[in-house]
Chains A and B, each alone.
Chain A
Amino acid sequence: MDAARHDGQGGAMTPCDVTTGFFVLGRCGRPAVTGCPQCGRPVCGEHAAPQGGHCPECLAALGHGSRDPHDPSWVAGYRRRHYERTSETYNDTTWYSSFDAYDRGAFEPGSGYTYDEGDFGSDGTGFVDS
């Protein structure tokens, strides 16, 4: 709970690590006052939940997110629900989204063997031919 607290007058400040913004995301950056008991990252006084000191994402995950769009903490809950809903199409909450650009980059056409796209080529090379 007792995260490094510095006020910028001496020593290094630990910035708040909460994601902010809706269309353009960034880090909050204000001096942190506590650490989220769930995920452990530094949270500033604005973003820490009044009880427990959770960060907004963890609070939303716990089901305490605000439903009021005028409440600044609403964004975190909305974002979380958006991710849940859009990945729910086939209940894949984690898998394909776990593939980042680096993972996918290896599977561009031409990255396979020059004469063979692998077993998944679109032109007649099926999966697993023994």
Chain B
Amino acid sequence: MNAAQGPRAAYFAFDRFPSSKGSAVHIAQMADELFTWAGGGLLGVLGGGLPRYQREGTREIVRFDAPIPNLIDRAEAYSAWVAGLLETRLETLEVCHVRDPWSALPVVTATGRRYRVVYEVNGLPSIEMAHTWPWAAPETLAKIGELERFCLARADAVVVPSRVIGDAVRGLGVPGERVRLVPNGADVRDRPRRPDDAPGEYLVYVGALQPWQGLDVLLRAFARLADLPELRLVICSSVPERRARQVRRLAERLGVAERVDWRFTLPHHEVAAWLAHAAVSVAPLTGCARNLDQGCAPLKVLESMAAGVPVVASDLPAVRELMADGEHGRLVPADRPAELARSVRILLEYPEEAAAMGRRARAHIAGGLTWAHSRAALRAVYRALTPSAALSRADR
């Protein structure tokens, strides 16, 4: 691509990028694959403190940062912003990749579009927002669901990271042949150095702190391991400290606050070091609609496996796609602190078996769940959508 010519590909996400969240890792991988394949492109994301415009070689990054407090007002303004970006690039765009309905709406409705639309569904706001916005009425969420169906019906391909989400999307009426599975991945790297301030033996939790993550279940389980005074719980939170208030209060009430170490918004490589030296990594996802009906593809599970750490995770269909019970770690019933504590205790008492699980998990990732695998699957989607010569030239 050169500047005068305009981009052939664009990626839009109603999401701050870069950030310390798992979503940012995902955006980086997917957008990088798109731009590598198309020989450059336009990335439209949320900013807020980040530069509004950046040009990195053949890649343009533009950020929306209007400080609009109301979420729907903000989403509406963002959609209009995306529409404006598209207007001047309609001639050259061949593929538009979107990550949410707010980005998808202007992309699928642009008048005279010739590009193909790839809609990546990592979650459905109509389900997920019931958890995060408790005052949203069912009718309101139904309207958002309607928007999702509207956009999904007009996308040329729908990319999902797990079969559970694929089923949810098919349930919304998307024909099966348009739904393509592109699993999330993790990179298998050399074992990083142990963090200087790491305690002797610790459990690790990595991720955000929303209610569906099950931190409360983990803390209750940890309270049941009080007879192991040396054992600590390290929580690497991807969100800032002030969002941890409620979880911290619960830890105090349960009497475990003194044994919990908090780390906030660490860069990805530091999180990898905390993961690699943990005794057990815990993914206590709850059995709520967000995790069961909508589905998820937890990066924390994949990254723990790639680090060679045994995982104790909730036994949800979406998690079962990634790991096997007894093979790569333990799957326990969701929302059961006693079961979670027992599985952790067993792994701690049989360190050799636990280490073997960690090794098998690492091999499992290396064998088919790396980002290279994901990106190859995504590239196949692009290739199938645009057999045009123009893009094939850039397709090395």
User: Which A residues have a C-beta under 8 Å from some C-beta of B?
Assistant: 89-92, 95-96, 98-99, 102-109, 111-120, 122-130
Contacts and interface: CB of A to CB of B under 8 A. Distances in A.
B93 interface: no
Interface in B194-224: 207-211
Interface stretch (B104-112, B353-361, B379-387): B104-112
Contacts of B21: 124-126, 129
Nearest to B123: A128
Nearest to B294: A128
B48 A113 contact: no
A125 B22 CA distance: 10
Contacts, number: 166
A114 B133 CA distance: 10
Contacts of B74: 120, 122
Contacts of B257: none
A116 B15 contact: no
Nearest to A107: B71
A113 B132 CA distance: 6
Interface stretch (B2-10, B29-37, B76-84, B173-181): B76-84
B105 A130 contact: no
Interface stretch (B52-60, B242-250, B331-339, B342-350): B242-250
A103 B208 CA distance: 27
Interface of B: 13-17, 19-24, 27, 46, 48, 67, 69-76, 79-80, 82-84, 86, 99-100, 105-106, 109-111, 122-123, 125, 128-129, 132-137, 139-140, 143, 147, 150, 161, 184, 207-211, 238-240, 242-247, 265, 296-300
B207 A118 contact: no
B303 to A, nearest CB: 11
Contacts of A107: 70-72, 133, 136
A89 B79 CA distance: 10
Given A126-B17, A127-B13, A99 B72 contact: yes
Majority secondary structure of chain A interface residues (helix, strand, loop or mixed): loop
B132 A127 contact: no
A95 B105 contact: yes
A116 B69 contact: no
Contacts of B147: 95
B14 A103 contact: no
Nearest to B161: A130
A90 B20 CA distance: 31
Contact of A90 (B82, B136, B239): B82
- The 8 A-B residue pairs with the shortest CB-CB distance, nearest first, are A90-B83, A118-B132, A126-B15, A107-B71, A128-B123, A91-B109, A90-B106, A130-B296
Given A106-B135, A129-B23, A130-B22, A124 B240 contact: yes
A108 B83 contact: no
B214 to A, nearest CB: 12
Contact of A126 (B19, B72, B211, B299): B19
Contacts of A91: 83, 106, 109-111
A115 B245 contact: yes
Contacts of B76: 96, 99
Contact of B14 (A99, A102, A120): A120
The interface centre, meaning the residue of B15, B128, B299 with most chain A CB atoms within 10 A of its CB, is B15
A130 B299 contact: yes
Nearest to B86: A90
